[in-house]
Structure 1
């Protein structure tokens, strides 16, 4: 086994070559209107986007399909070899096919293209060689020019697949932007895992399961301690007894500081030791926003409001349980 003298240098060389290739793809966009026209055609589409390829291009096609589906463009993957052995039936005339091929001249592609044309399906070629059979037959050419592969033998698909993948990402993002696809839309398509929770989990979803410690402005020290201890959230809200308006918060830390500030504790009331204008969140705020506020203030709980009125607490432990931290 040959060990390269400087592995990092070789790795950097590969990465820089692939980065240069992507810059070349970006520059090629200005040489023809096909990319913008392709975006417009997909936006007007009544059917789905079908992405196909063979070999390593098939893997890239599969990833592009996943990205399109997750960003609001209905898409499906069809392996080019399987297409000519029965899977062509999944394509309808109102669909839009993107065929990925570096050379644009592989045997399977040459068999597939006439069949697609016969169906009347719109065809885009994501190719390195725009003058290839595929490039000439396609309605749109998504040009991903690549001079050579990063492989030292110029054989293994490396730079070409990276360029194709990047151009596919550009297509998906342009479609996303054109559709005004929001983070809420994204959340509806990604309900599982930490990512989904960050995008859809609201503060109220968590705080409603917690106790709601509260005392009035004139509550004595014993009542304060019992409320904090009994509700097990490390804090209590302080409310105006007449209006129930939030006046402040008392935490375990406030109790400890009280011991150094007051010589006599019998006459201590909530209003004497509370922190005024506490950090709050609304029940409709995202739980991820609550985490951000805790981290910025270096605190472990927030008062939760609903339409400006006291609703409860959310604690760092709630966010830990949901895997948001």
Structure 2
């Protein structure tokens, strides 16, 4: 068994070799890249991405990235394409073929068929002089000197290079299509990522109670209000405006410093000028405000009207943390 240091060195060397291979791709970004992006932008069709073996795996990820950033895309396995899946290709679609060598048998069969359909082919290949490279309309080079595999056999650096070219293509299309944060939220409504982009504070407070006391509310009643509303805090309201806040922490400090609480009222222990947030603010902004002020609750206002409380637990429950 290899010792720990050797394993660490192998892992580091793999990362270094792949990062060097990726950095070298800058030298191959040329007018073909510009022409490819502009062609897809002006096309009325979709992007079909195909490949075989490990290149097919990379193709599926590129498709996912394109779809999630506003460019309609479909994955088509190169082997399945010649057994019926060519029907996926429509008249105006652009076909991206991914192949390190550009000379695999499936690619050699597939490319002429696509050309006969009249579709434009974009090659992502490590060999621009290959069958794929010479028959494609546009060539995006993913050339690497060698694989990170010590035997220079297992696709490692080459597939990483293909992936990076695909990402570069997707980002160029994203920017040229003016794909906004709002668009991203529309395409990613599920999970924590989507919620960070579309969930607002007023979505979080609709099921929460509305704890309220006045400056002259006796402490006993303040304790009851906080316990009853189960948010660990209450707003102190005077003339329909927030003038303070009392939290569980304030109550604990009060009990430590004042054994006799019979004569105390809310204004005696409240914190003045509490942090607030607008009801239409993004939920992620509420989290940032809590983090920066080291608090676990924040009062919510609609205009100048007190409308609720957001607790850290609300954000945790939604996965925004």
TM-score by length of 2: 0.93
Q: In the TM superposition, what whole-angstrom CA distance separates every residue of 1:235-269 from its partner, at most 9, and x where no partner exists? A: 111112x3x12112111222333346668745533
Out of 276, 279, 295, the position equivalent to 2:275 is 279
Aligned partners of 2:251, 2:15: CA distance in 1, in Å?
A: 57
Q: SS state of the match for residue 211, structure 1?
A: coil
Structure 2 gap ranges (5+): none
Q: In the TM superposition, what whole-angstrom CA distance separates every residue of 1:108-165 from its partner, at most 9, and x where no partner exists? A: 1111111111211111100111111211211111111112212222221111111001
Which residue of the partner structure matches residue 300 of structure 1? Answer: 296
Which residue of the partner structure matches residue 87 of structure 2? Answer: 89
Alignment of 1:244-323 (within 5 A): 244-259=240-255, 265-323=261-319
Q: SS state of the match for residue 268, structure 2?
A: helix
In the alignment, structure 1 residue 223 sits paired with structure 2 residue 221: yes
Q: In the TM superposition, what whole-angstrom CA distance separates every residue of 1:203-261 from its partner, at most 9, and x where no partner exists? A: 21121101000122333323322221221211111112x3x121121112223333466
Aligned partners of 1:148, 1:265: CA distance in 2, in Å?
A: 77
Alignment of 1:34-113 (within 5 A): 34-113=32-111
Q: In the TM superposition, what whole-angstrom CA distance separates every residue of 1:276-319 from its partner, at most 9, and x where no partner exists? A: 22112222222222222222222211101123321110112222
Q: In the TM superposition, what whole-angstrom CA distance separates every residue of 1:11-68 from its partner, at most 9, and x where no partner exists? A: 2222111111111112211xx3011221111122211110001111111101100111
**Conserved in 1, the CA contact under 8 Å of 2:28 and 2:140?**
no
**Conserved in 2, the CA contact under 8 Å of 1:282 and 1:308?**
no
Deviates more, 1:163-172 or 1:313-322: 313-322
TM-score by length of 1: 0.92
Q: SS state of the match for residue 247, structure 1?
A: strand
Q: SS state of the match for residue 168, structure 1?
A: helix
Closer/same/farther in 2, CA of residues 157 and 220 from structure 1, 3 Å limit: same
Aligned partners of 1:192, 1:263: CA distance in 2, in Å?
A: 50
Which residue of the partner structure matches residue 209 of structure 1? Answer: 207
- Root-mean-square deviation (CA), in Å? 1.9
Which residue of the partner structure matches residue 125 of structure 2? Answer: 127
**Conserved in 1, the CA contact under 8 Å of 2:102 and 2:125?**
yes
In the alignment, structure 1 residue 232 sits paired with structure 2 residue 230: yes
Structure 1 gap ranges (5+): none
Matched length: 320
Aligned partners of 1:62, 1:49: CA distance in 2, in Å?
A: 12
Deviates more, 1:56-65 or 1:4-13: 4-13
Aligned partners of 1:200, 1:135: CA distance in 2, in Å?
A: 43
Q: SS state of the match for residue 6, structure 1?
A: helix
Aligned partners of 1:253, 1:47: CA distance in 2, in Å?
A: 60
Which residue of the partner structure matches residue 11 of structure 2? Answer: 11
**Conserved in 1, the CA contact under 8 Å of 2:237 and 2:243?**
yes
Closer/same/farther in 2, CA of residues 220 and 108 from structure 1, 3 Å limit: same
Q: SS state of the match for residue 146, structure 2?
A: coil
